[in-house]
Chains A and B, each alone.
Chain A
Amino acid sequence: MRNKSLIVLLVLTMVFGLTALGQATTAKDTLVMANYRDLRDLNPHLYGGEIFGQNLLFEGLVFLDQTGNPTPWLAESWKVSPDGKLYTFKLRDDVSFTDGTKFNAKTAKQNFDTLLENGTRHGWLESIRLMLAVQNKGKEAVRTTGEYTLEIEFAEPYYPFIVELGVTRPFRMISPKCFKGKTSKNGVNCLHGTGSYILKDNTVDEYSEFVANENYWGKKPAIKKIIAKVIPDNQARLIALESGDIDLVYGLNLISPKAYKRFENKKGFGTVMSDPMSTRMMILNTTRPELSDARVRRALQYLTNRQIISDKIMLGMETPAYTLFSKNIPCANIDLEPYKYDPKKAAVLLDEAGWKMDGSIRKKDGKELKITLTYDSDKVLERTIAQYLQSMWGKSGVKMKIVGEEEQAHRDRLKGGDFDISFNISWGTPYDPQSFIGAMRKPVYGDYAAQQGLKEKAQIDQAILDALKSVDIKKRQEHYTYILKTLHEEAVYLPLTYERNRAIFSDKVKDVGFNPSQFEIPLQRMKLQ
């Protein structure tokens, strides 16, 4: 009898003990968010850390506001020389790093110098390349001209520099005392920035804790403590949100359209979606015999029903795209005639190009109109779109073969130009249009290979260079208009949808919004109820 009572007591204790553990909800002054991986290395001058973490600790000279406009941050103001080659920054005089080191022109220069020292790693940035070109002439590209005045010189004018300064990496400032040796190239010993938060704790692969910086020079953030829990599994993250273990799941890659829909009308939760940020598209290789005729490429545009892709595959999470960039992207507000879904127009174009219907397939000189679409097999959505297009195009006599392959193999294929059609995504704001367009000149991406069949390729490349150098806004727009119009008329790109960033959160969190870059999380603007 006594034994039985003991067992009952033990079971009750366990149940109530565990109940208390299971019903954990997050503390009132703390925002608990989920990320799919650890913070890793937050060195702001390298690329191996979580951007949201770097964004909390480190600040740059320029801040990109919600619309992507550059506004003063650690630099109070700046001016550009008439020839567009010299930038002069007036820095704030009231800022210190969290280790007490004063932020001034000297420390800012040390940050730029260490980036130039690791120039190969940052070779993708035109601005670094142009600063190095100055250095190679034996002149310093970054100079201090006063305690709070910094000068940066380029070999050639380069207008997107101010925007590049605004993105999280690699131009954010860290206390030079954190450098390993005299450079950040080989890593950093500490993470002292000027940001509104401090990293208090990071238990690798479990969670990291950020607390508000009490000595912050600017407006102090409303949330005192942020905990980022590492939950790698998609479903597990949503369950944690549902059970109250976390308050926020943020980002395109962390929230599938289905998951967003699930929480859209759920009591106790909120959802929010950004403006279009990047373009999901297909690249058509103009060097392939079947696709070398612009009429065929245009016909494929008319055969693509973007509305169905948006509604049925993306569940309304992405809007139909008819141009390479959405109109809210800088310099992309151009009137271009959209290729709206119209199979009849497509049939006329294909007939004109000599591809006549023969049974269920189109043929020209006895050769069938067969196209191969390649994609990265990890991307399930792309496979679904491919299967839909295969069936739709097939009805109009265009036979499509779908090949899914491992990521690296797919990238190599793109780089080598060994494809008919492939999926692609633009770099997104604030890199669009300048960085995405700029990369078309380099044989690193599929764009370069796909455009080789265009008669105007040389002019397009020249226009890209001219646009990036252009100091005059009107002339710059003219170059962009030429590039975007030519690519649109030549139908090299088949835009499908515009991607939009998204977030799901508990009712506790207020003012969840978006920064221009989809990789940043504007935690500084959020509030807790």
Chain B
Amino acid sequence: MHVYIIRRTLIALATLLAVSFLSFSLVNLTPANPAEVALRVNDVIPTPEAIQEMKIELGMDKPFLVRYAIWLERCAHLDFGTSFTNTNRTVAGELARSFPYTLKLTSVALVLLILISLPVGVASAVWKDSLFDKGVRFIIFAGTSVPNYWLAFLLIWLFSLTWKILPSSGTSSLAHYILPALSLNTLYIATYVRLIRNSMLENMKENYTLYARARGISEKKIIWLHVLKNSLQSSITALGIGIVRILSGTVVIENIFAIPGIGRLCVASIFNRDYPTLQAYIFIMGVFFVLTNFSIDILHCMVDPRLKTRAQHA
């Protein structure tokens, strides 16, 4: 077990290093000259003298690997540099300012995800092949195919313009987060409903369900206490990765609903060619993915005895 954890930690660290190198070099590979970009995003006419001055200011006169080493060392201290678009702001400060919005949006999306997919998944398994189940299956099909930005406009049109019951943009109340959260998690709701439904159906055929019925336990109790509990394991694993996916999926949705979270920060950085912010965003998202994968692997190992044995052999 310990060996396994040590091995996974080393792999995770190596992956993190690769992620950091990629996020640094990807941005440096773009055809633009960052010094010129830094001037242009502030509408300064890039005269040769101004470019040279900015090059020195940004440390661009140093070799690539030296710049990478300096950047990595600073990242380790959570210093991601200064934003090109507003030299009064640090990238770390920008990330810290925008992250709570994204966290709030992701949390609302997750709560709605659980509140919707759990009962619908269970009901559709219990009433298999009923009109309700067929309807749900159709919605699942549609939900997995609709692009989220299109769905977002559809929801705005319906709830904000036609019925006028939910606001179309902003963040001043919890209600402002409902439409963006729904646009963000519809794909995942569809996935989890299907996952829960299939898993429930499989479990309902298991012997323990038969014994429970034979013992005279009520159908309600069998479904909610026994079958559901056993059906959730696969969904929880999927949810782990889903959280990071939802987090990174905010890029488009935050722009449409004018939520100043990290997704929008990322889009703004792309448009403004704000390389330091972009590098930090890619790096942090990479770190999230690596850490989530790492935690899930460890959790799996702790929960599933078979994995533990395999790890011991390894």
Contacts and interface: CB of A to CB of B under 8 A. Distances in A.
Interface in A409-462: 409, 412, 442, 444
Contacts of A233: 255-256, 258
Contacts of A19: 164-165
A358 B264 CA distance: 54
B275 to A, nearest CB: 12
Contacts of B36: 408
Interface string A16-57: 011101111000000000000100110000111000000000
Given A19-B164, A406-B31, A120 B267 contact: no
Contacts of A205: 97-98, 260, 264-265
Contacts of A182: none
Chain B interface residue number, banded = 35 or more
Interface in B265-289: 265, 267-268, 273
A204 B46 CA distance: 27
A124 B171 CA distance: 40
A18 to B, nearest CB: 5
Contacts of A40: 85-86
B153 interface: yes
A22 B166 contact: yes
Nearest to A232: B255
A123 B45 contact: yes
Contacts of A121: 44, 50, 53
Contact of B258 (A15, A46, A187, A232): A232
Nearest to B257: A236
A206 interface: yes
Nearest to A406: B31
Given A123-B50, A204-B260, A205-B98, A245 B87 contact: no
A81 interface: no
A15 B165 contact: yes
B67 to A, nearest CB: 19
A77 interface: no
B86 to A, nearest CB: 5
B169 interface: yes
Given A22-B163, A406-B31, A444 B49 contact: no
A41 B170 CA distance: 22
Given A123-B50, A236-B156, A231 B169 contact: yes
B167 A245 contact: yes
Contacts of A187: 87-88
Given A120-B50, A245-B167, A245-B169, A229 B31 contact: no
Given A46-B42, A232-B255, A408-B32, A124 B166 contact: no
Interface in B34-68: 36-37, 41-47, 49-50, 53
6 contacts: A187-B87, A205-B265, A232-B267, A236-B169, A243-B168, A409-B31
